[in-house]
Structure 1
Amino acid sequence: MIQTLHAFCAVAAGVSFCYMLHALWRDRDDPALRYLCACFGLSATSFTLLVPAVWVRMDGLLGVPNISALLAMSSVTCLVFGQQIALQYWTHPPAEARRRARRRMAVCGLVLTAMAVLFTCLDPSVQRPRDFSVYYGHSPYYFAYLVLYISVYTTGEVIIARTAWRHARATENVYLRRGLRFLAVGAWLTLGYSAIRIVNLFGPRLGFDFSHRDEISWVFGNTGSLLTMLGFTFPGWGPRLSLANRWRANLLRYHRLYRLWATMHRAVPEIALFPPRRRIHDVLKLGELEFRLYRRVIEIRDGQLALLPYADEAAVAAEAEAAGRAGLDAAGVRAIAAATAIRTAVDRRRAGLPPRQKPALPAPAGPPGADLDSEIAELLRVSRALSRPAPATHKPPTPTAPPSPCGARPVPRPDDEADAA
């Protein structure tokens, strides 16, 4: 399982590296992007080296047993410093960020040198790609090596977590704020890796052994790393995700309004600017969605306005009063009244009854100050009310003359199309 997790994290880091490299190509003067590219490249390298097959292959290629351990830990050390530097460029003026970056790079160089010296003194001649830390935990050189590595790693993650969380509360950019919070949570989560490593390091010297729990440390470390990748990249692709969600919501609302629109179009065919030839064409057409959704709302309102003189005002008033007594709110009462007006107007028009010259009902409209989203929500409530069975008191008038088709081909009913399909 852990090896699969290493491989998954390596792929995720590689994808993040390519994404950040593309961002750097568009904005080559951004130093934070340069450091983030390096961080994701180092992350992909470290996770790849932890895969046993790659570990053994790299050792054979360089001719040094377990050199992959040093390379992987050195990569993690560099990326921890690189992440701190990237945050400095996000949160400080360029001159101050450069000064802080130089200081961190100097410390990183000293740490890497010390790790290399301690690893050489360890002389890990027995290749242990799966349990390197447990196998060499008794060595004083490895003890010093791991104390140095865990201290730098833990300190760096605490700095990252605190910096990200503090600035997440200060920024007004919602995507940057979420990204920083993902980053902070991921950094705090990696401390579970540090805690288990410290316990495994000092446990044998204090008389207890938790080496059999070593794999749990990787769950904390890898999960935290995935969240930090998400945090650093989210400000870039988060807005696109919101646009995709908006498009999906508009698509659902557009098709949920079809039944109401079709009712309007069968009664008043001239409302349609671009009437679909068949329902399937309306379903498969995905372009210009916002325009088509806007047109659908306008055409439904035009249909309501055209049918208003035919509506049975007494039936509308009675249904609205009944809805109020049933405890519906103002929006629900308006939806019931509008659905009753449409139902009675269609029946009266089909029966050939003449329209009223001065209808007493107000022109159809949403709540005061409504925007397009409120209009759509109002019409969806009307559509649901219209789809319910007509009340028992509703008696369609007897036709006195054949209805006028107005020279337009009616839109198929949704139920008919479902049967045909």
Structure 2
Amino acid sequence: MGFLFLLRDLKNNRKDRALVLLSLVFLSSALSFIIALPPIWKQIDAALGVPSIAVPLAQSCVMLVLVFQTSVVAYWAFPPAEARRRSKIFGIAGAAAIAGLFATFSQIDPDDFSHFLVRGTFYKAYLGIYIAAYTLAQTYLAVKCWQQARRSVNSWVTASLRIITVGAVITVGQSVIRTADLVADAFGSSADSWLALAWLCGDAGALLTLLGYFLPTLVDRARGVYGWANDHYVYKRLAPLWEALYAATPSIAAVPAESQLRSLVQLRPISFSLYRRITEIRDGMIELRPYLHADVREEAEHRHGTQGLKDPDLAAAVVAEQIRQALASHSQKQAAVELTEYADARVSPETTDEDKHLLLRIARYFTPPPAQVTTPVPS
């Protein structure tokens, strides 16, 4: 899932090395687990004609995960030049570890891998290489992610880095148990009873680490979906107000309004159309200024104020009535004798987002005048 989610970003950010490396983290991790599945394992062994060859292949993918994980953190923590230098070092170390795994594997009885037990010298060397590389990489990951979490100002990124740190520390538990097994074997003993816990540490730690890397992407996607849905919701909520203003002043729409249904069906964003709708509503309100009666504003402010409304809701409710009465006066060509401003002038928004929320409040209180002459709304 992480890899597939990141593929979309890679199309537009292929030069972002950290993003490319993060994608490779997920891809390599997925391959390591897929290769280790018994049916896949057997198919690989049969295809290559080498018993248990899937083991070093899967664990080589784990080595790649470590290389890419540490490289990602390097690009997060250091300037590009230093990050590239460290990434090369991690890559060389990873290649050496993989070469060591295959070199020792070639000297081991394949039956050893079917039980994952410490036996011969070369098997111990194989495990030693794997454990050493894994422990060093996860320790580096835990330390650097913890340091970066303390510097981050984004709460979600901080949480993600903390999760990665916890996952990396837990995975070291697997290394400790496997190392204890190696040491115990040297003294004629065994720590086989702890191997189940070692696998649990490895799997739980890997899961947390991947979740930590995945969380920012997931949050970003969730925000994107929320933003898309919210834009469509706001666009629809502003429709009655916009339609009433457009009916009175068609010139506010330079081009026909986009079909919201088509955008919904095609899952397209409507942010630009929403921006246009907000601008056109404001343009329509400007066109109605000659029809704003001072007494309408005074009466509406007194009535809504006695009902307990406070700004910005008070201003929104008054503006809604001002627009309603201005539309009625416009249809009858009755310009105001004593002009006034819209009530929302005292809560003037400073950003487009603030203006959007204010217009939503106005739309909530707005009802069109019953006798308004309408102009067909563009599809």
Report if TM-score (shorter chain) is over 0.5. Answer: yes
Q: For residues 249-283 of structure 1, what are the alpha-carbon distances to aligned partners after superposition, in whole Å with 9 as ceiling and x for unaligned? A: 4333222210111222334445443455xxx9454
Whole-Å Cα distance in 1 between the matches of residues 250 and 19 of structure 2?
Answer: 56
Name the structure 1 match of 2:164.
Answer: 186
Alignment of 1:368 onto 2:341:
no
Tell me if structure 2 keeps the 8 A contact 1:271–1:303. Answer: yes
The verdict on how the C-alpha distance between 1:96 and 1:114 changes in structure 2, with shifts beyond 3 A counting, is same
Name the structure 1 match of 2:53.
Answer: 67
5+ unaligned residues in a row in structure 2: which ranges? none
Alignment of 1:79 onto 2:59:
no
Shift of 1:380: 0.8
2:147 to 166, 180, 189: 166
Shift of 1:328: 3.2
Whole-Å Cα distance in 1 between the matches of residues 354 and 327 of structure 2?
Answer: 25
Secondary structure of the corresponding residue to residue 330 of structure 1: coil
Whole-Å Cα distance in 2 between the matches of residues 183 and 73 of structure 1?
Answer: 25
The one-letter code matched in structure 1 to 2:164 is: G
For residues 39-54 of structure 1, the aligned pairs below 5 Å read 42-54=28-40
Whole-Å Cα distance in 2 between the matches of residues 260 and 360 of structure 1?
Answer: 21
For residues 337-376 of structure 1, the aligned pairs below 5 Å read 337-347=318-328, 352=332, 354-362=334-342, 365=345, 367-368=347-348, 370-376=350-356
Tell me if structure 2 keeps the 8 A contact 1:339–1:383. Answer: yes
The verdict on how the C-alpha distance between 1:97 and 1:313 changes in structure 2, with shifts beyond 3 A counting, is closer
The verdict on how the C-alpha distance between 1:343 and 1:40 changes in structure 2, with shifts beyond 3 A counting, is closer
Alignment of 1:324 onto 2:324:
no
The verdict on how the C-alpha distance between 1:64 and 1:95 changes in structure 2, with shifts beyond 3 A counting, is same
For residues 131-170 of structure 1, the aligned pairs below 5 Å read 135-137=115-117, 139=119, 145-146=126-127, 148-167=129-148, 170=151
5+ unaligned residues in a row in structure 1: which ranges? 1-7, 129-134, 391-395, 413-421
Shift of 1:410: 4.3
Q: For residues 292-325 of structure 1, what are the alpha-carbon distances to aligned partners after superposition, in whole Å with 9 as ceiling and x for unaligned? A: 4344233323433444555564453243234334
Shift of 1:55: 0.6
Whole-Å Cα distance in 2 between the matches of residues 365 and 293 of structure 1?
Answer: 22
Tell me if structure 2 keeps the 8 A contact 1:257–1:383. Answer: yes
Whole-Å Cα distance in 1 between the matches of residues 277 and 36 of structure 2?
Answer: 56
Q: For residues 7-42 of structure 1, what are the alpha-carbon distances to aligned partners after superposition, in whole Å with 9 as ceiling and x for unaligned? A: x7xxx55x4896798679x54xx8778866765664
Tell me if structure 2 keeps the 8 A contact 1:78–1:108. Answer: yes
Tell me if structure 1 keeps the 8 A contact 2:131–2:178. Answer: no
Tell me if structure 2 keeps the 8 A contact 1:20–1:37. Answer: no
The one-letter code matched in structure 1 to 2:360 is: L
Shift of 1:100: 4.3
The one-letter code matched in structure 1 to 2:355 is: E
Name the structure 2 match of 1:383.
Answer: 363
Secondary structure of the corresponding residue to residue 358 of structure 1: coil
Tell me if structure 2 keeps the 8 A contact 1:65–1:127. Answer: no
CA RMSD between the two structures? 4.8
Name the structure 2 match of 1:393.
Answer: none
1:123 to 100, 103, 109: 109
Identical-residue share of aligned pairs (%): 27
Tell me if structure 1 keeps the 8 A contact 2:166–2:205. Answer: no
Length-normalised TM-score, structure 1: 0.66
Whole-Å Cα distance in 2 between the matches of residues 140 and 242 of structure 1?
Answer: 54
Whole-Å Cα distance in 2 between the matches of residues 306 and 349 of structure 1?
Answer: 10
Tell me if structure 2 keeps the 8 A contact 1:158–1:188. Answer: no
Tell me if structure 2 keeps the 8 A contact 1:313–1:341. Answer: no
Whole-Å Cα distance in 1 between the matches of residues 70 and 285 of structure 2?
Answer: 61
Whole-Å Cα distance in 1 between the matches of residues 259 and 5 of structure 2?
Answer: 38
Shift of 1:125: 1.7
> Is 262-271 or 203-212 further displaced after alignment?
203-212
Whole-Å Cα distance in 2 between the matches of residues 108 and 229 of structure 1?
Answer: 20
The one-letter code matched in structure 2 to 1:220 is: A
Whole-Å Cα distance in 2 between the matches of residues 51 and 301 of structure 1?
Answer: 61
The verdict on how the C-alpha distance between 1:295 and 1:79 changes in structure 2, with shifts beyond 3 A counting, is closer
Tell me if structure 2 keeps the 8 A contact 1:65–1:126. Answer: no
Whole-Å Cα distance in 1 between the matches of residues 7 and 279 of structure 2?
Answer: 44
The verdict on how the C-alpha distance between 1:324 and 1:208 changes in structure 2, with shifts beyond 3 A counting, is farther
Name the structure 2 match of 1:409.
Answer: 375
